[in-house]
Amino acid sequence: MRASRLVTVLLLLQSRGQLTAGELAAELEVSERTIHRDVDALSASGVPVYAERGPHGGIRLVDGYRTRLTGLTGDEAEALFLAGIPGPAAELGLGTVVAAAQLKVLASLPPELRTRASRLVERFHLDAGDWFRASQPVPHLAALSDAVWSSTRIAIDYERSEGVVQRVIEPLGLVLKAGTWYVVASVDGQFRTYRVSRVAGAMPTTERFDRPDGFDLAAYWAESTAAYERDIPRVDVEVRVRPDRVGRLRDAVGGAAFNAAEPLTDPDPEGWLRLRLRLDWPGDAARTLLSAGRWVEVLGPPDIRARVASTARAVAAHYAHDPADEASEPTGLR
């Protein structure tokens, strides 16, 4: 443990410059006395580290000193290479940067860690996108990324259901969720989330903005997605399904809704199962259940049952005649 802590102290000083004993102690969750002992141990081992006293003092390395020590464990090296998702990195314009960084790290690792990291790349691959959906074009992702890094406002044209609207946003961060990019921004003092694929135009500005104190992108995203999932409209639907076709119902409504279904004890004359499902987006419920086919019957509520029946009749009407017979009719009789 102590060897690992000494490496961490050294890397913290190298990356951040001067730090107080209190800052190092808080970072490593140890006492200040332990930090002073660690500094003495580093100095005794030949590391040019020293402490300056006074109100502006602290612990620091001699100017210009750099260590070749990475401090990577085997698990850390594997995690670094597993995190290099090529698709998202390329979309951000960082594909070659990630590849170059991985090569440099690989070259600096001892042989045993180098073998583990290389083996990981050969055996594991992360694909962040969804099934059956091509990647959405995000031509303005790079401009938004630059604005995030530089904390500058950016004017965007954003496609909404009612048309394109113009917004000047203060971008705070980018999030990749299930293959889709989102930009989290402050607009008129309120946090907003925009899908990057709907950004039809982007005009960077030179106006800088101050990031909100204490803003945590990961915490905001977790809270906002939880609120979204909690507040979306839902409807309870009662259905009956033939026991050997429950898989069709699961495929139609999704595993989460199916697993949360409530069994109903009402007797069924044909021995079918009766369930109460809670489905998202009531307007889509009829179409979703109709996709399960004739082995699932909607019992209620009445409006959704009527919508399923109406859609089924319309589909049946399209197939009520043979197109071959229609094509064989004389033109004048049509």
Indicate which CATH number applies to the domain containing 158.
2.30.30
Residue 23 counted as domain residue: yes
Report phi then psi at 103, rounded to 5.
-65, -40
Tens digits of per-residue pLDDT, 171-220? 999 888 877 889 999 998 899 999 999 999 999 999 999 999 889 998 99
C-beta separation of 170 from 186 below 8 A: yes
pLDDT at 82: 56
Helix and strand element counts for the chain (H, E):
14, 11
Structural domain harbouring 33 = 2-61
Last residue of a domain, one of 230, 256, 273: 230
User: Does 97 lie in the same domain as 46?
Assistant: no
First to last CA, the chain: 88
Neighbours of 52 (CB within 10 A): 11
C-beta separation of 172 from 215 below 8 A: yes
Residue 325 counted as domain residue: no
Q: What is the CATH number of the domain that holds 289?
A: 3.30.70.240
Residue 87 counted as domain residue: yes
Q: What is the rounded CA–CA span in Å between residue 189 and residue 212?
A: 9
User: Does 245 lie in the same domain as 302?
Assistant: yes
Residue 69 counted as domain residue: no
How many domains are contained in the chain? Answer: 4
Last residue of a domain, one of 230, 249, 266: 230
**Helix (H) or strand (E) segment spanning residue 268:** none
Residue 68 counted as domain residue: no
Residue 130 counted as domain residue: no
Residue 331 counted as domain residue: no
pLDDT at 328: 57
pLDDT at 177: 82
Q: Which residues of the chain have pLDDT under 50?
A: 333-334
- Looking at the DSSP bridge assignments, the partners of residue 181 are 176
Q: What is the rounded CA–CA span in Å between residue 136 and residue 129?
A: 10
Q: What is the CATH number of the domain that holds 12?
A: 1.10.10.10
pLDDT at 221: 92
pLDDT at 334: 44
Q: What is the rounded CA–CA span in Å between residue 50 and residue 57?
A: 10
Q: pTM higher than 0.85 for the full model?
A: no
pLDDT at 61: 84
Q: What is the rounded CA–CA span in Å between residue 213 and residue 159?
A: 30
